[in-house]
Amino acid sequence: MAHDQFGGLTGWDLEGFHGGGDTEVWRRLGSHVVTVPDDERGEVTGVRFAVWAPNAKSVQVIGDFNWWTGDPMRLVPGSGVWATFIEGLGEETLYKFRIETADGTWIDKVDPMARFSEQAPTNASIVYESRYAWSDDEWMARRREAQAHREAMSIYELHLGGWRRNKSYLDLAEELVSYIKWQGYTHVELMPVAEHPFEPSWGYQVTGYFSPTSRFGKPDDLRHLIDKLHQAGIGVIMDWVPGHFPKDEWALGRFDGTALYEHADPRQGEHMDWGTYIFNYGRNEVKSFLVSNALYWVKEFHIDGLRVDAVASMLYLDYSRNEGEWVPNEFGGRENLEAIDFLRYVNRHLYEREPGVLMIAEESTSFPGVTKPVHQGGLGFGFKWNMGWMNDTLRYLQLDPIYRQYEHNLLTFAMVYAYSENFVLPISHDEVVHGKGSMINKVPQDDWRKFATLRAYYSFMWSFPGKQLVFMGCEFGQRPEFNESVSLEWWVSELWGHGGLQRLFRDLNMIYRSSPPLYRLDSDPAGFSWINADDNAHNVLSWIRHDGEGNHVACLTNFSPEPLRDYEIGLPLAGTWEEILNTDAPIYDGAGEFGNLGEVTAVEQPWGHFPARANVTVPPLGSVWLRRSDAQ
C-alpha cells in the first residue's frame, strides 16, 4: 500500500483516550474525510474510519460503497482501536461497523462517534464534515464574560418535534426565533436533540451521542438555528443524557460483544425502571467519550449550557433498587463515587475550556453541594433544578382555595433552603405528562378562577428567588397534556383566557428583565425580605426583592378568590411606588376592577421591621408588583 493504512491515526494519538484525558475524542475516532501522503501520487483523499472495540476478534467497515459486504480494519498498534483509510470516499457515505465477537458471532453496529445519522427507522451512520460559518461572534464574546447568577434567566423548554409538527431546523430558525424574541425569554432549553430511534422517548434514549437528530435536517441546519437564536440575543441550553443509554442491539450496548461502555454487572450496569444500560464512569475510555461529548456540543454547536438529565440516578448506587439489587461502594456506602468523580470532571473541564457555559443539574435529592465549586468539595454545577419548590407549589396550586390556608407552608418552605444551592425553578415537561394533567387542568373550579390562579402562580414564580423555566404550551394554558406526536394547540391563544395568559408571560419577561431586583441577588439572602410570610388567613404572600444598588420591587400574591382592599404592608422607603404589574388587568383577560390606579403612596410610619407603610389593593387570585428606587 502506497499510503498510511490508518489515515494518519497512531497509537500516540489515542493515549489520551485510553487514559481518560482526551476531551476531543471526536477528532480521532469515527469517520473523517482526510488527505494523507502517498508514495506514488503525493497525496490522496478518502475517509478514515476508527472505532474502539478492544475485545473484538476482527472488525470491518460496511457501507453503500462496498455493497455492505465489508472492508477489513486493523488494530492501531498499542490500542484497542480498529482503523482503516479508504481512498476515494467522501461526505454522505453511509456506513456501519461489522464486529466479530470473541465467540465468533458477527454484529453490526452504528458508529458511536458518528456526527450524522440516518433517520429512524433506518440507522446507518453518515460521513459528515461541517462547513458552517458562524455569525454569533458578539454573542460568544459576551458569553465568556457572563455572570449567570447575577443575570436574568427565563427559560422556555421545548421539544422541537412537538412545538410545531413537521418543521425543520431551518423553519424553526425563523418561526421559533421570532416567537421567543416576542415572548421575551432569555434562553430556550431543547429537549435532547442527539439521535434517538424511539420518538416517544423524547430523546432521552440516545443512540447517537455526537449526531444531531436528522428528523429536522442536517447538523449544519441545527447550527444555523442556534446561530439565529444567538443573533436574536437568546441563549441555548440542551438536555444532555450521560446517565443511561438504550439496549438497541445496533447501538452502544455490548458493543464488541462485551460490556464496553456499561458495567457488566446488572446491579451496577442496568436501570431496571427504564430498561437501559448505565455507563461505566470508572472506565477511562468512557470518561473520554462522555466528557468529549459534553464539550462537543458546547464547542462545535455553540450550545450555551447543558442541563444534565437524571443526576440523582447517577449519584446513588441504590437509586430505585431494593436491598440486594445494588453493590455498595468501596467504603460500604450508597454513593456512586465514580459517577461523582465524573460529574466533577466534566463540570470543571467545561468551565475551564468554555467560560460562561451553564451546567445545570436535574437533581431531586438533598445531595449536598450540587452547585458548590469542585475545589470546595462540591459537584461543580452552576445551577440545580429546585424540585422541592416545584412539588410543593404544585400541590398548593391544586388545592381548593378554602383549604390553602392550612397548607401555607408549601409556599414558604422553599425560603428555608433557597440559598443552599443556585436554583432554577422548573415547570418542565415532566409536570404535564403521564396523567399529571396540564397546568390549567391542575387548578380547581371554573375557567375564570383557573386562568386567574395561573396568572397569579406564574407571577409568584417570576418574583421568587431563582431562575425560571416553563415548558412550551404552559404560556398560553394548553389544556391537553404534552404529546410529542402533535403540535401545540396554538389556535387557543386567540381565545379568552389563553391569549391573556400568553400576553402576561410576555410582560412578565419584559418587566423581569428590566428590573434587576428580580434577578441580581438570586443567590444572596440580601436580595430578599419578607413583608409578610404568615398571612395564611388571606392566602397572601408578600416580599421585597432588592438589587443591592438601591432598587426595590415589592411583590404581593393573593391565592384567595376574595379581593384585598386597603391591605396594609410595610415598605423599605416612603414615597410613590409604581404599580408595574397587576395580573387582573383587562389585557390579561382579568376583570380590571382591582388595581391601584398605577401607583401606591407609602408614608413614613414604621411597620414591622420596615420604616414605611402603605395600603394596597390586591386582586382576587392575583398578583401586584410595585417598584421604587432610592434615587426617587
Question: What is the pairing mode between strands 599-602 and 575-582?
Answer: antiparallel
Question: What is the pairing mode between strands 551-558 and 575-582?
Answer: unpaired
**Burial category of 307 from C-beta neighbours within 10 Å (exposed 0-12, middle 13-18, buried 19 and up):** buried
**Residue 362 falls in the annotated catalytic set:** yes
Rounded Cα distance, 26 and 115, in Å: 9
CA distances from 233 to 133, 142, 199, 226, 345 (A): 18, 10, 30, 11, 30
User: Out of 111, 362, 431, 522, which one is annotated catalytic?
Assistant: 362
Gyration radius of the chain over CA positions: 27
Q: Is 460 helix (H, G, I), strand (E, B) or coil?
A: helix
Strand ranges, E, within 139-297: 154-158, 187-190, 194-195, 208-212, 235-240, 245-246, 270-271, 276-277
Question: Which of 419, 522, 524, 544 shows the shortest CA–CA distance to 148?
Answer: 522
**Alpha carbon 490 to its chain's center:** 23
* Type of residue numbered 363: E
What is the residue-wise DSSP string for 323-363?
Answer: TTSS---TTS-SB-HHHHHHHHHHHHHHHHHSTT-EEEE--
Task: Take residue 203 and report the three cell numbers written for it.
Answer: 430523546
Widest pairwise Cα distance in the chain: 94
**Burial category of 284 from C-beta neighbours within 10 Å (exposed 0-12, middle 13-18, buried 19 and up):** middle
Rounded Cα distance, 466 and 527, in Å: 11
Ramachandran assignment for 613, one of left (phi > 0), alpha (psi -120 to 50 degrees), beta (any other): beta
Locus of grid cell 415572548: 183
Q: What are phi and psi of 615, to 5 degrees?
A: -110, 130
DSSP element (H, E) containing 289: helix 284-300
Question: What is the pairing mode between strands 106-109 and 564-571?
Answer: unpaired
CB 171 within 8 A of CB 529: no
Question: Which of 238, 252, 209, 239 shows the shortest CA–CA distance to 311?
Answer: 239
Task: Take residue 266 and report the three cell numbers written for it.
Answer: 446488572
* Type of residue numbered 465: P
Rounded Cα distance, 208 and 194, in Å: 6
User: Out of 309, 522, 579, 589, which one is annotated catalytic?
Assistant: 309
Rounded Cα distance, 342 and 314, in Å: 10
Which residues are known catalytic residues? 309, 362
